[in-house]
Amino acid sequence: AQSVTQLDSQVPVFEEAPVELRCNYSSSVSVYLFWYVQYPNQGLQLLLKYLSGSTLVKGINGFEAEFNKSQTSFHLRKPSVHISDTAEYFCAVSNTGNQFYFGTGTSLTVIP
């Protein structure tokens, strides 16, 4: 089975500063990679996904992520965060099997 590790459970960052949320997954022949955002008491919303092609993926709200096969990583980045980016972020992986595997989440807090 796949495993997904989000290395930071909490990330505080000042408004307009850059941020990187880290995600590593266990090796597999081919994987599909996703980042989701969750606001309090809501469902998960897709930020971006990597299925194939360019390793740099751009998503909504100014976020982007880079797929690094050799390091089995899919880190999420944003060059300048806003207060509204305060939320929980989940990395997810699926392979040619039947299931998604989610990380335990990273709580991003943007400080004014």
Partner 1 sequence: DGGITQSPKYLFRKEGQNVTLSCEQNLNHDAMYWYRQDPGQGLRLIYYSQIVNDFQKGDIAEGYSVSREKKESFPLTVTSAQKNPTAFYLCASSIDAHKGEQFFGPGTRLTVL
Residues at the contact surface with partner 1, assessed by CB under 8 A: 9, 32, 34, 36, 41-46, 49, 51, 90, 92, 94, 96-100, 102-105
CA atoms of 80 and 104, how far apart (whole Å): 24
Long-range interactions of 47-56: CB distance < 8 A, separation 24+ = 47/76, 47/89, 48/76, 50/74
- Smallest distance, partner 1 to C-beta of residue 80, A: 26
Q: What is the CA angle 94-98-101, rounded to 5? A: 40
Rank residues 71 and 99 by Cβ distance to partner 1 and give the closer one.
99
Rank residues 44 and 77 by Cβ distance to partner 1 and give the closer one.
44
Residue 35 near residue 59 (C-beta atoms within 8 A): yes
Residue 74 near residue 40 (C-beta atoms within 8 A): no
- Smallest distance, partner 1 to C-beta of residue 97, A: 7
Rank residues 73 and 106 by Cβ distance to partner 1 and give the closer one.
106
Do strands 32-38 and 24-25 pair parallel, antiparallel, or not at all (unpaired)? unpaired
Rank residues 1 and 112 by Cβ distance to partner 1 and give the closer one.
1
- Smallest distance, partner 1 to C-beta of residue 107, A: 10
- Smallest distance, partner 1 to C-beta of residue 50, A: 11
